[in-house]
């Protein structure tokens, strides 16, 4: 459901938005920009809330960059194998 809202923006921001989108698509542009910002803020909040959940002590096998590369490579291979089984069944 769409709701009208009165927003106050600096003139230079609105002018730049209008240059990119035109006045007829201003709301859509601002909606999309707001969605992106909200997604980023939710992600940052999640990072903050889970800070410290992963430690070298709890995952000694993933201390180095090479360890992480190996882990990701193994995961990707297992996903590919599972996908092949699923497709061929």
Q: Where are the domains of the chain?
A: 11-49, 60-89
Region 67-87: what's the mean pLDDT?
A: 87
Rounded to two decimals, what is the model's pTM?
Answer: 0.61
Between CA 65 and CA 17 the distance in angstroms is: 41
Give CA separation, 49 vs 37, 41, 54, 56, 82, in Å. 18, 12, 12, 18, 33
DSSP structure string for 34-86? HHHHHHHHHHHHHHHHTTTSS-TTT-GGG-SHHHHHHHHHHHHHHHHHHHHHH
State percent of the chain over pLDDT 90: 69
What is the spatial distance between Cα 89 and Cα 67, in angstroms, rounded to a whole number?
Answer: 33
pLDDT in tens, 7-17: 999 999 999 99
């Amino acid at each position: 459901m769409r709701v009208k809202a009165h927003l106050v923006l600096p003139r230079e921001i609105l002018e730049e938005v209008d240059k990119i989108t035109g006045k007829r698509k201003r709301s859509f542009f601002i909606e999309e920009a707001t969605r992106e910002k909200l997604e980023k803020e939710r992600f940052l909040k999640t990072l903050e809330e889970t800070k410290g959940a992963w430690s070298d002590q709890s995952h000694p096998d993933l201390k180095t960059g090479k360890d992480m590369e190996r882990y990701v490579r193994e995961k990707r291979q297992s996903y590919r194998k599972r996908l092949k089984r699923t497709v061929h069944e």
